[in-house]
Amino acid sequence: MALTTVDANTALVLIDLQNGITGSPTTPYSGAEVVARATGLADTFRAHGATVVLVRVTFAPDGADAPTGRTESPRAGGTPPEGWDVIVDELAGHPEDIVVTKRNWGAFHGTDLDVQLRRRGVTQIVLAGIATSFGVESTARAAHEHGYHVTLATDAMTDLNEDAHRNSIERVFPRLGETGTTAEIVELFEKTRP
């Protein structure tokens, strides 16, 4: 087990667990498996009064607020279906949760995530979501750069490509924080709570 500790003020940050993303074909876990594990984490954090942050990605219908830099890979085109950017029902509906809307891969740039966490005295974040090598990794990198202790729930994230997922889990995340399964995180989290 790579986990060593969970700070007294740790927040759960869930990336892009929304209708239009969780139904996409992913590997090594399905969106439904990730949502189920993330829901278990969120329920545990809420039961102990810890901060839960639900991050969603969306863009204006005309795409005017989407990133504009040149890329070699084509961007998805067309108008997304109605409700694609709505947090999944399993996680939504908890007024104490913080909802952050982003327009980039990472959840820090252009949002109030850092302000929301710092106002609550958060020193550590547990990350999960879709996709491992995009939104989760981008957020983990920024969290590390912002000085947070980062824990990554490796079985509560998945990707569009298994090699990309594995690269993040095996090569990138150990340099940004600590990794563990949801069960390991819950066990350690509950040991630190009164």
Range of the domain at 186: 10-63+84-191
Domains identified in the chain, total number: 1
Q: What pTM did the predictor assign?
A: 0.94
Query: Measured between alpha carbons, how far is 64 from 109 in angstroms, rounded to an integer?
Result: 17
Is 4 within the bounds of a domain? no
Please indicate, yes or no, if residue 68 is contained in any of the structural domains.
Answer: no
Output the domain CATH number for residue 133: 3.40.50.850
Answer whether residue 88 is part of any domain.
yes
Q: Is residue 77 part of a domain?
A: no
Alpha helices in 16-135 (DSSP H): 19-22, 31-47, 113-119
Q: Is residue 159 part of a domain?
A: yes
**Closest Cα to residue 102, out of 140, 144, 67, 141?**
67
Please write the tens of the pLDDT for every residue from 140-182: 999 999 999 999 999 999 999 999 999 999 999 999 999 999 9
Give dist(CA 11, CA 49) in Å, integer.
10
Spatial distance between the Cα atoms of 41 and 37, rounded to a whole number of angstroms: 6
Q: Assess if residue 74 is contained within a domain.
A: no
Q: Is residue 76 part of a domain?
A: no
Question: What integer is the mean pLDDT of 105-131?
Answer: 97
Q: Is there a contact between 7 and 124 (Cβ–Cβ < 8 Å)?
A: yes
In this structure, is residue 155 part of a structural domain? yes
